[in-house]
Structure 1
Amino acid sequence: MRTAATLPLLATCALLALAGCDNKDPVPPAPRPDAGTRPDAGTGQDAGTEQDAGTEPDGGAVQGPAVINSTPSEGETNVLPVELFKTEATTTGVRKRVTLIFDTPMDTTAAEVTLIDRTTPTNPPRTLTGTWLEYGLMLLVDIPRPESDLPPLEEETAYTLELSGLRSAEGHPVDTSHAGLGDGRLDFTTGRRDGATEHACAHALLESPVPVTASASPTIYPATDASHEFYALTLPASGASFLGYTEVVSGESRDEPVVLYLNHPVPVTVHDTTEGEDAVASTLEPARPVCLDAISHTLKFTAPGGDRFLRLTFGPTALETFTFVFERY
C-alpha cells in the first residue's frame, strides 16, 4: 500500500522517465525543515519564545547611585584642611566642608558618613551627619573640630569618607564600581594650612569695611595701602562698565610682596608712576578656599622699595562696589 509520503517521489520519477530516466535509484527530494530546525521557544516571538527570567536583569543587577562630582575630588592631594566661617558678630569658626553630588535622588533620611584617618589608623573613625540639598542630589558634610584644640583635619594626612550608609530614594546602596569613586568611598589627602589667607579671612569676616571711592582721574586718586585694612571700593561709571584708580606707596627699604584678597575677580593693573608709566607685573588668580564667600581671588605684585608711587587701575568691570583686604609682607 502506497502512503501519502510516496506520492511525491513517484511523481518525480515519472517526470524524469519522460526525459530518459533509467532504473537507477531515484534521487530523493531535499528534506523539509522539521521542528528541530525551526526557532525554538528560547528565540521566538510568541508566548513560548519570550526570554525567561534567567536572561532578564534581576534585582541584584540594578546599578546603585553614583557620585558624579565632589569637592574635594577623588584622589585629590594638597586639600586645604581648614576653612573659616563666621559664627557670631565677633567670632569665626573652623571646619572643612565636603560636597558630594549624586546622579539620582537619594534617601534624605539617611545622611551619615564615616571619616577614616588612613595615615594614623589608630585614630577612631568619626561619624558625621550631612545635609541634603537640591532635592536629594547634593550632600554637604561639614567636618568640625574633633576636639576644641584640634583642627577639623590634620595637615598632610590621607583620609577616606565612607559612604556605605547612603542609599538612593529607591533604597539601593552607593555603587562601588562606578568610575567616579571606584570603591564607593571618597579618598583624598590634605596639604598644609594657609595661614596668610586665614588671617585675611578673619579681617573680611569680622570687620566692617572702610568705604573708599576710587577716582575717575588717572592723575589724582585716594590711597588704599594700609596693611591689614579691609576696604569696600566703589568705582566710577565708565561707559557701560566701571573703572577707577587708587594709590599704593611702597616701603622705604626693601621690595614688598603685596596681596589684595578680593571677593570678586576684578581686573587690576599696576603702574609705577614715580618717574613715568612703568608697568608692574601682577597676577590675579583664585584664592585658596579658606572663606570663599568673603575672599575668592588674590591680586599679587611686588612693590619696589624706595617710597615708589604705584597706581592701581581697577576695571573695567561690571561691578560698581567690591571688597578686598590689603596686606604687605
Structure 2
Amino acid sequence: MLRLPCPLLLAVGLLWGPLVGCGGGDTSPAVDAGPPPPDAGPPDAGPPDAGPLDRVPPIVTSHAPASGAVAVPPDRRIELVFSEPMQTQEGLLQLLPETAFPDNGRVKVRPQDWDASGRQVSFAFPGGLPLETEVTVTASQFLDVAGNPLPAAFTFRFTVSDGQPPRVTATTPSEGASRVPLNTAQVSFTFNEPMDTRVGSLAPQGGLTLGPATWADARVLTAPITSTLVNNGQYAVRLEGFRNVHGQAFSGVPTLGDGKLDFGTGPDLTPPTVVSASPAEGARDVATEYTTRVVLTFSEPMKKSVGKAELVDGSTRTVLSPLWTGDGFSVSYDVTFLLRHNAALGIALTGFQDAVGNALDPKPYLGNGVLDFRTVLDTTRPYLESSNPVDDAQDVYPAEVYLTGGTPATGLRKRFTFVFSEPMDTSVSRVTLHETASPGTFRSFNGTWATDRRTLTVTVTAVATGQLPVAETRAYYMDLTGLKDAAGNTVETTFPGPGGDGRIGFLTLADLPWLDHACAHALAVTPTAVTATATFSGASPRTDALHGHYTVTLPGGNGSFTGYTRMRLGFERLYHAFLNREVPLEVTDATNGAVLEVTLEPVPSACNELTHMATFRSTANPELRARFGPAPAAAFRLVLEEHD
C-alpha cells in the first residue's frame, strides 16, 4: 500500500470537510464526537519491525557414519547435524541401494526423529543396515525454521560390516606353526577391519618377550621379539582388550580360536654356518706379527667337543688347539709364530657340528670349507722381548755348577737366554760378550736356538780350567745385533725398553766358593735319607757329615712339619747348611741348652738344587741339637759345609 505523508493528509482533510458537510443547507450538523484518537502511525504500517529477514541456507556440519567409513555395524543409526534449527516435519533421506531398504530407500523425516535443539536428526533401521554393502545417503528437502532449504542435496557413503565382531585374518608366525625359525624377528596380526589403535595389549607366554607394539595402519599390528627363541619351544601371544573403531570387541574366532597366537619352533634341523672370521675369508694383507689368533664365529652355538681346525701351509698341516667362548658361538686358535710371511695359508675345518648335531655347512662363507688368506712380506725388524738375566741386572752370579757327564763330574758355566719378538734365522747364532770398561775385550759364542726359533741360549765357559766363566764384580754386555729374523731383518737397535739397543748389560756378583762346592755335592752325590724325630733324643739321626748330601723327612701334618737331628761338629767353627728350600733352623748346645745364632738367607743362583743357606758357629761343646721347621712340607735337601 502507498503511504502518504501526514501533512498532506491533514491538508486534504481540512479541505474535504466543508465540502462533505454541505447538503441542501437544511441539514443540521453532525454531533461532535470529541477529540480524534491518538495517531497510531502511518496507515497500513503493519506490525512492529522484527529485524532483518533470515535468508541464510542451513548446511550439514557433521554426520555419522563418517564419509568413507568401513565396517560400520549394521545396527548403527544414521545421524545428521545441521548448522541451525530446522523444521522438524520437513526432510527426506534417499538411501542406495534402494532395494536394500523399505520404500525403495526413501525415508521421510518425522518430528520425533529430532533432538530438542532441532539441529540433530537421527534415523534408526529396525531391520538393520544391509550387511557388507556400500550405502549412499542423500539428504534433501530439509528447511530451516525460516524456510530456507539446503543449498544442495548432501551426499555421503559408508560400508556396512558383516555383522560379526572384528577378528584376525592373518598372523606372523602362522597360527599353530610348529617349525618357526629361531631368527624370527617379530609377531604381526592383520585384522579384517580398522581397529581402535588406542586400546588393546599383547600378552606373550611360554618365555617369549616382546618389544612395544606398533600399528602399521589401523588393521596391522606388529611387535618385535626381544627374547631368544629356542628349539622345541612352545610360545603364545594373547590379544587383550582390542576393539574396532566402532567400539565392538575383538573375537578370536576363526583364525585364533582361543584368542591367542600359538606357535612352536620344533627341532633344530638347520645346519650351522660360519658368519664371520678374523682374518676374513679371502684376506690378502694379513700381517703375521699382528695376527696371534684366528677367530671363527658361527650362526648358532656349536658342540665344543667335536671339530678339527688345521693350519694349511702348502703340504704341511698343523692341528690347532681350540678355545671356545662360553656360549659356543665363537672359537679361536693360537697361531702365534705359526704363520709364514708372504704365503697363501688356510684354516681347514672338518667335523664341526652345532649343539644338536647338525653338521657345519661351509658354503655360505667358506665355500670349500677352508678359511683362505694370504700374509704380507716381513719388513719388521725383530726386537728382544725378554732375557735372563734382564738388561742392567746388578746381581748376576758369575758361575753355574752343572753335571758334565764325564770327569770331573761337575763344571762351571754361565748360561744366558734371550727371547725375540718373532721367529729368527736359526742359521745365525753368533753373539759377542764384551767387558763394559773395555769394549774391545770380548769373546764370541754360538748360541743354540730352541724349536720355537725365538729363544736363543748362549753358554759362556771359562777361558781356562779353574777360572770362572765371567769375572766376579765386573760389568759386561752381550751384543746381539748380529742376529736376524727369518726374513733377514736385523735386530732392532732403537726399540724402547730394556735391550732395545740390541745389547744386554749386567754386573756380576762376588763368587762364593763354598756355594759352588755345595752345588757340586748336591748335583753329584746321591742323598742319604734320614727321618727326623718329633723330640730330641739319642735316637735322633745324625746330619753332620761335611760335604754330605741328605734328604731329611720331618714329622707333622696339616701343612706344618718339625723335627730334630743331631750334629757333632768341630770346636768353634763356622758352618753353612745349604738347603733346597726355605726351612727354619734352630741349633742348640746339647750340653748347656744354649741357643746358637743362626742366619737364614737366600743364596745366588749357582745351581737349581740349592736356594737357601743357614749359617752358624759351633761352640766348645761338640754335641749340637738341630731343629728344622716348622715347614709347610715334610721333605727337604741338606748339604753341610765348613767355612775354611
Identify whether the pair has TM-score above 0.5, normalized to the shorter chain.
yes
In 2, are the aligned partners of 1:78 and 1:192 still within 8 Å (CA)? no
Please name the residue that 1:55 is paired with.
Answer: none
1:22 aligned partner? none
Distance in 2 of aligned mates of 1:74 and 1:264: 27
Q: Does the C-alpha gap of structure 1 residues 93 and 181 become closer, same or farther in structure 2, counting only changes over 3 Å?
A: same
Which of 599, 616, 621 lines up with 1:306 in the alignment? Answer: 621
Calculate percent identity across the aligned residue pairs: 34
Output the amino acid matched with 1:116: H
- Cα distance in structure 2, aligned partners of 1:68 and 1:279: 50
Report what 1:163 is aligned to: 480
Q: Which runs of 5+ in 2 are unaligned?
A: 1-375
Match of 1:97 in 2: 415
Q: What SS class does the counterpart of residue 247 from structure 1 fall into?
A: strand
In structure 1, the partner of 2:550 is 231
Which residue, 176, 190, 202 being the options, matches 2:493?
Answer: 176
| 1:270–1:238 Cα change, 3 Å | farther
Separation in 2, partners of 1:258, 1:303: 8
**SS state at 1:197 partner:** helix
Q: Deviations over 1:267-314 (max 9, x none)?
A: 4344455445x654433332222222x222212233344346333223
How many angstroms apart in 1 are the aligned matches of 2:453 and 2:617? Answer: 47
Instruction: Report the RMSD for the aligned CA atoms in angstroms.
Output: 3.0
CA-CA distance at 1:139 after TM superposition: 2.1
SS of the aligned residue for 2:543 comes to: coil
Residue matched to 2:432 = 114
For 1:216 and 1:267, how far apart are their aligned partners in 2? 15
Q: In the alignment, what sits opposite 1:66?
A: 383
1:288 matches 2:604: yes
Give the C-alpha shift of residue 100 in structure 1.
1.9
User: What CA distance in whole angstroms lies between the structure 2 residues aligned with 1:308 and 1:147?
Assistant: 43
**Structure 1: gaps (5+ residues):** 1-58
Equivalent of 2:519 in 201, 217, 234: 201
CA contact (8 A) 2:585 2:626 kept: no
Report what 2:565 is aligned to: 246
Counterpart position of 2:579 = 262
Query: 1:180: Cα distance to partner?
Result: 0.7
Q: 1:146 aligned to 2:460?
A: no
SS of residue in 1 equivalent to 2:458: strand
Question: Which AA in structure 1 matches 2:512?
Answer: D
Shift of 1:163: 0.5
Amino acid at match of 1:300: T
Cα deviation 1:184-222 (Å, max 9, x = unaligned): 111223333221111212222222222222113344522
Closer, same or farther in 2 for the Cα pair 1:208/1:101, shift >3 Å? same
| CA distance in 1 between partners of 2:631 and 2:464 (Å) | 47
Contact persistence 2:522–2:549 (CA under 8 A): yes
Q: TM-score, normalised to structure 1's length? A: 0.68
| SS of 1:136 mapped into structure 2 | coil
Partner letter of residue 394 of structure 2? T
The structure with more radius of gyration: 2
Q: Aligned in 2, Cα 1:297/1:323: closer, same or farther, shift over 3 Å? A: same
Aligned residues of 2:589 and 2:621 also touching (Cα < 8 A): no
CA distance in 1, matches of 2:423, 2:585: 43
Change (3 A) 1:279 1:149: closer
| Contact map agreement 2:434 2:440 (CA 8 A) in 1 | no
Superposed displacement of residue 230, structure 1: 1.8
| Residues 127 and 317 (structure 1), Cα distance of their counterparts in 2 relative to 1, 3 Å cut | same
Whole-angstrom CA distance in 2 between matches of 1:239 and 1:77: 40
| CA positional deviation for 1:71 | 2.3
Shift of 1:147: 4.0
Q: Which amino acid aligns with 2:430?
A: E
Q: In the alignment, residue 284 of structure 1 is paired with which amino acid?
A: L
Quick one: which amino acid aligns to residue 603 of structure 2? Answer: A
How much has 1:238 moved relative to structure 2?
2.6
For 1:197, give the aligned amino acid: L
Q: Which amino acid aligns with 2:507?
A: T
Query: What is the count of residue pairs matched by the alignment?
Result: 264
Q: Distance in 2 between matches of 1:95 and 1:141?
A: 10
Q: Counterpart of 1:328?
A: 642
Residues 78-115 of structure 1: CA distance to partner in whole angstroms, max 9, x if unpaired? 53222221112652122111122334443434322112
Distance 2:465 2:584 in 1: 40
Q: TM-score scaled to structure 2, two decimals?
A: 0.37
Instruction: Describe the SS at the equivalent of 2:424.
Output: coil
Distance in 1 separating the partners of 2:467 and 2:576: 29
Relative distance call for 1:199 and 1:116 in structure 2 (3 A) is same
d(CA) in 1 for partners of 2:434, 2:499: 16
1:205 counterpart SS class: helix
Distance in 2 of aligned mates of 1:315 and 1:136? 45
Per-residue CA distance 1:241-263 (angstroms, 9 max, x = gap): 543221234544x3x33211122
**CA pair 112-319 structure 1, distance change in 2 beyond 3 A:** farther
- Tell me whether 235-244 or 191-200 shows the greater mean CA deviation: 235-244
Question: Residue 133 and residue 280 in structure 1: after superposition, are their counterparts in 2 closer, same or farther (change >3 A)?
Answer: farther
Tell me the distance in 2 between the aligned counterparts of 1:274 and 1:69. Answer: 54
